[in-house]
Amino acid sequence: MAEHLVELNVTGMHCNNCAMSIHKLLEKKGLQNVLVSFASEEVKFSNESQLALPQIIKDIESLGFKVVDEEDQQPAPFFAKIENKFAFCTLFTAPLLLHMVLPWHFLHNPIFQLILCLPVFVIGCLHFGKSAYSSLKNGVPNMDVLIFIGSTSAFVYSLVGTVQNLGEHYLFYETSATIITLVLLGNVLEKRSVNQTTSAVRDLIKFQQVNANRVVESGVEVVNAKDVLSGDILLVNEGDQVPVDGDVLSGDALVNEAMITGESLPVPKTKYDKVIGGTILQQGNIRIMATKVGSNSTLSQIIDLMKKAQAAKPPVQKLGDKVASIFVPVVILIALTTFVITYFATDAGLQRSMMNAIAVLVISCPCAMGLATPTAVMVGLGRAAKNGILIKGGDTIEAVANTRYVIFDKTGTLTTGKFSIHHIKPEEGFTIEQIRGVIMAIEERSNHPIAKSMVNELLQLPQQKLILRAVTEEKGLGMRAEDVDGNRYFLGTAKHKTEDNFYLTLYRNQVRMAQIAVDDTIKPDAASLIAQLKKDGITPVLLSGDKKSRCLAVAKTLNIDEVHFEMLPDDKLQVVDMYRKKGKTIMIGDGINDAPALTQADVGVSMNDASHIAIQSAKVILLNTDLQSVVKFLQISRHTLLTIKQNLFWAFAYNIIAIPVAALGFLNPMVGAFAMAFSDVIVIGNSLRLKVKKVN
């Protein structure tokens, strides 16, 4: 059955636990590729079994959330916003806390304290109670169950003390209110921080929200970029953002593509060139025809890739999720045991036993565990994207960590794909300067990429000038020319190519003047990349369909010991498979002839320009052709995994220490609530550090 992708906007998620309860509900229903982000209020899944969508929406809403239509989204009511709930509760909690430091008599009055606590308790019940009840109903108890039980116990205990007039030892209204207020504060901080971690995607979305100048019969009309249709003619002026992907019909321009490819130098564009939506026209004016619009555009695909990537769970996170799901029942059990032991085995009395149990409930928060991985993955992917590295999936980051082999394709990966004169072999009676002069004079008139490369190179070298009267290009053969003295020249592909190089031959009046060996140039940073990989204990491998002599020459220059040449796509698959059996393998190729091998590797990396962004075979796409981004990719991946491990260690260690301390009565519930919020902030802070820290 065809896969059917569904996207919903869901409001009311205030922390990672809410997202997790929706995630578990949808997985229970057998839906695939579930992605729930509480920060962007998005829920996505593929509905292969074609379950009725209204029923799925009803089930999500039964958890206490609201599915809204993006088009007619109403402004949210005041109390729907977590920040407003927190501000409202703080207003009532502050005077409640003051009675602990100020001697004013009315602050100690039980009725006054009840009046202050009640609004906070009602907000807490609605906020945490609804979510707690729904999670219990669906058999996946979440953190809100603990918060709800803790704050309610303190409130009911105090209410009984007030009604029966048992004195101030029975008043813990401030505990109930403070727990609710501090946990709301934690939710506010969590939401803000996660918003920061998803900023890379939001920055890209901003690039889509622009206007376009559409050429119509009456002149030019300004439309929103999302209303542009394929085939529309658009005018892009200096300083404008290119609204959609397209082909240049007329005009010349310099385009800054840094936000897509990470390439800092502006790229010249002229007729027939492709432009990418979201890039900036720095100089000139062009007329383009829209080709890829809407969800087909390069930018949309990047955004989609990033969203999917942020949702793909690495194995490390799955461990965190498992722990968090069995955590809540265990904590309730520990809290009950604490109450029973403290009350019956010691003389601590009801009040102390109660407070210890509440402290256990409040302090044990698996939120930090739930946040440990997604926040680090989001920041890591965002940082990679800013460096022109698109990673499809958080699980890719983990796959990279213990890489043993990096397999490179040759042409366009380790070499530039631009050609240079490797060697000129003059025939007897001709000088090298004379031959250079002839090649220069002829090739200046050609548009062929090899010709352009040769001209650039010859400009720097001594040569004997030659003045030509006429030059004609014969497609597929070469160039014919005539000089002012009537000599006729031909420069073209040699009839008999030798094994080692791609030869051109130069004739004058049908006499051979020289043979020219033209070769692909090695990228300037290839040697340092290979050296860096070897230093990190990774074995570089060259895998190419090219001739043996050329592959060996490149391997020798770059100091690569393992070489496989004259390989067809099928052979490449077998070689990749062989290395995978020995250890984790990354394959780096130019994405088209290497597509099967890229899919086969543990991680396929496509060295590609942005127009091929959608090559589905690679898990990583390097948007700039600079090979240093391979090193950058490995470094960012390693540091992201390191951050995840630090976060999980902190989250586990916090709970292992905090629960016994609370159970033994060394922490009151208010300090517990504060410590719980603080643990989330530390985990998120550590993840955000990844934005700026050195990753060498």
**Domain coordinates in residue numbering, the chain:** 5-73, 80-195+314-376+651-689, 205-304, 386-414+524-638, 416-522
First to last CA, the chain: 47
- C-alpha triplet 121, 126, 130: angle, nearest 5°: 130
C-alpha to C-alpha distance for 278 and 289, rounded to whole angstroms? 15
Residue among 529, 667, 640 at smallest CA distance from 586? 529
What local confidence, expressed as pLDDT, does residue 1 receive?
41
pLDDT on residue 145: 80
DSSP string of 492-538?
EE-SS--SSSEEEEEEETTEEEEEEEEEEEEPTTHHHHHHHHHHTT-
**How confident is the model at residue 386, as a pLDDT?**
80
pTM, to two decimals: 0.61
For residue 232, give Cα distances in angstroms to 212, 215, 238, 274.
10, 8, 20, 15
- 44 vs 36: CA distance, rounded Å: 6
Pairing relationship of beta strands 488-493 and 502-508 according to DSSP bridges: antiparallel
Burial of 612 (0-12, 13-18, 19+ CB in 10 A): middle
pLDDT at 265: 64
Domain at 5-73: CATH code: 3.30.70.100
The 3-class secondary structure across 68-118, one letter per residue, is ECCCCCCCCCHHHCHHHHHHHHHHHHHHHHHCCCCCCHHHHCHHHHHHHHH
pLDDT at 502: 57
Residue 618 and residue 599: Cα distance in Å, rounded? 6
- For the structural domain made of 205-304, what CATH number should be given? 2.70.150.10
Pairing of strands 585-589, 603-607: parallel
Active site residue 203: no
3-state secondary structure of 223: strand
pLDDT reported for residue 285:
92
> Given this model, what pLDDT does residue 522 score?
86
Q: In the chain, which residues have pLDDT < 50?
A: 1-2, 71, 499, 610-614
Predicted local distance difference test score (pLDDT) of residue 611: 37
- Could you give the CA distance from residue 432 to residue 425 in angstroms, rounded to a whole number? 8
In tens, the pLDDT along 509-552 reads: 999 999 888 777 888 889 999 999 999 899 999 998 777 877 88
Residue 613 confidence (pLDDT):
38
- Any idea which architecture 416-522 has in CATH? 3-Layer(aba) Sandwich (3.40)
Fold of 386-414+524-638: Rossmann fold (3.40.50)
Q: What pLDDT is stored for residue 358 in this prediction?
A: 78
- List 232, 240, 245, 409, catalytic entry: 409
